[in-house]
Chains A and B, each alone.
Chain A
């Protein structure tokens, strides 16, 4: 904790601001009453309702499938793009490429959604592909906007990593492809895993772009959530929020334990190396 009182108060205020709303949703998800202000006893009522909502469940399943496929492709493309930016030096068209990679990070989603939809419509007119809008167009769009985030994560890992290992392997005669798979890939693997998880979460959460490029019969979870909260409070969503928070918390704890173990092993390795 910082020493100054002012900073402590600032920090605590900021964290409360970030966490109170989330905490509130978790508490309310167990409230038997609809109202936010009245607590009328502990209940799993909203969870039962959540799990009886077929529309919501099938939307959630579609979202998970879309997120899984999108994240996987985004990781491949994002890793290649990160490699280009971190290792290829000044290739022709680099400025355009880095512009195209980083623009989706800040570009308003309504613009991305509209432009992708118009692309799909025009492509269909010209070539007959993609036929209509649905899961395929959602996945293509999600790959496009999530790969930017993967690129950033992978690129920053590549830039900060020690390149002398790659150089040593090259000097010993390894082909670039081999260097990549044997040396670079294992070192940047944590960044790739992070990138995948990030792309998965972003895809799972996206409403605006999806709304533009989805068709009838392909409704994702955020679309269902949005249409129900647009009309005001909907306690089922509190239950959904609590489940999301629980999954994230478990994931974080597992990652924390894994990291702590890695750190201990590293320290042990260092001690061994120092001794001998």
Chain B
């Protein structure tokens, strides 16, 4: 019970079902074969959980986090929606109120200002930025998958003694600063940077390649920063896989590559999906990486939102940009919550 076998405190910036299962299974009665199901006559998770018997306390316990999230998470979105329909003005705060009380008639008038959205659809800049963000996030997700899959597979197939330290190595970069890790690539990719010097030293190129401040640098930065998010859920799925299937395939004369393609790969789809969503969704709205590595022509929607807000001080348009981005991401986010919910159910054993 005492074994926190995840050696890194905290594990990962990850969702529950996606946290890699503990490599060394602690022996507890609940986890003994057949124990989990048999030992409990089922109160857990069935709505009759132990704390649910204590009604008044339960109410208090529930009210605090529920209230907090309503106030600081849900209501803010409604405010963004509201302000996206107001008009910018030079004042504090820099937008018009939607409702106006007409003194002489004594009634309240609501004016919805749709121009912010018309601007989004009318100006190529926004459309290009949205499409570009989705494309950059998609390509980076593919790169993460290509690099992350062999790593996750190798760790899952490694000797159990090696798994915990290897996983720790994957998680460790999380604990150093994200900003600083992105910054490291400036020194590597710049014209006088390490990569160019190295390639010129080898005689592969004569003049420095322009990588920094191009979309290529953005792909590299996103792939690098989000790679662990891909590896961890992939590992969790691959590690749980039933090896007897592969043995059976081998016994029946199936070559390893074919067994991989027909057994391992399809069975690891949930992990691939979870990892891809964990990379794709935040990468679409990424601001720091295109800003530091991408150069002025790497248009991503996170940067557009930022500059509308901070440079143009146009809060209503920034809000409309945010709402539109959310609309793009609604489907992936729901998919993510669905995948996560299913993994959680599976985690119950």
Contact = CB atoms under 8 A, between A and B. Distances in A.
Interface of A: 1-4, 6-11, 13-15, 17-19, 21-22, 24-25, 28, 35-37, 77-78, 80-81, 83-84, 86-91, 93, 97-111, 114-116, 118-119, 121-122, 125, 140-141, 143-144, 147, 149, 152-153, 155-156, 159-164, 166-167, 170, 175-177, 179-180, 187, 190-191, 193-195, 197-198, 201-202, 204-205, 207-208, 211-212, 222, 225-226, 229-230, 232-233, 237, 240-241, 244-245, 248, 251-252, 255-256, 259, 262-263, 265-266, 270
Given A106-B336, A140-B72, A7 B150 contact: yes
Contacts of B284: 108
A118 B80 contact: yes
B69 interface: yes
B17 A116 contact: no
A17 B184 contact: no
The 4 tightest CB contacts between A and B, nearest first, are A108-B285, A10-B150, A89-B47, A115-B76
B192 A36 contact: yes
B28 A105 contact: no
B45 interface: yes
Interface stretch (B108-116, B118-126, B167-175, B247-255): B167-175
A21 B184 contact: yes
Interface in B280-306: 281-282, 284-288, 291-292, 302, 305-306
Nearest to B66: A97
Contacts of B28: 162
A100 B76 CA distance: 12
Contacts of A262: 2-4
Interface in B290-349: 291-292, 302, 305-306, 309-310, 315, 318-319, 322, 325-326, 329, 333, 336-337, 340-341, 344, 347-349
B175 A229 contact: no
A37 B193 contact: yes
Contacts of B197: 37
B50 A176 contact: yes
Interface of B is mostly: helix
B53 interface: yes
B30 A21 contact: no
Contacts of B132: none
B177 A222 contact: yes
Q: Which of A21, A86, A91, A93 has the most CB of B within 10 A?
A: A21
Contact of A83 (B61, B188, B329): B61
Contact of A205 (B80, B155, B177, B286): B177
A241 B10 CA distance: 21
Contacts of B162: 1
A14 B194 contact: no
A8 B187 contact: no
12 contacts: A2-B158, A13-B150, A21-B181, A100-B70, A107-B281, A110-B325, A111-B322, A161-B30, A163-B43, A208-B288, A232-B190, A262-B4
A13 B181 CA distance: 18
Interface string B140-178: 000000011111011101110010001011101111111
A225 B247 CA distance: 53
Contacts of B7: 252, 255-256, 259
B132 to A, nearest CB: 15
Q: Which of B158, B180, B325 has the most CB of A within 10 A?
A: B180
Interface residues of B, number: 132
Contacts of A161: 1, 30
Nearest to A183: B50
B4 A118 contact: no
Q: Which of A91, A152, A262 has the most CB of B within 10 A?
A: A152
A222 B179 contact: yes
A248 B169 CA distance: 12
A89 B285 CA distance: 34
Contacts of B150: 6-7, 9-11, 13-14
Contacts of A207: 179, 288
Contacts of B5: 259, 263
A266 B70 CA distance: 42
A37 B194 CA distance: 6
Contact of A152 (B16, B224, B286): B16
Contacts of A270: 27
Given A17-B147, A101-B69, A152-B19, A108 B325 contact: yes
B14 A152 contact: yes
A162 B37 CA distance: 11
B224 to A, nearest CB: 7
B286 A10 contact: no
Contacts of B58: 88, 176
B62 A84 contact: yes
A83 B62 CA distance: 9
B66 A194 contact: no
B15 interface: yes
Given A2-B158, A205-B178, A18 B173 contact: yes
Contact of B40 (A10, A167, A222): A167
Given A114-B319, A233-B190, A88 B64 contact: no
Interface in B67-103: 68-77, 79-80, 83, 93
Contact of A244 (B64, B72, B176, B228): B176
Nearest to B137: A108
B211 interface: no
Interface in B1-47: 1-11, 13-17, 19, 24, 26-31, 39-40, 43-47
A152 B64 CA distance: 17
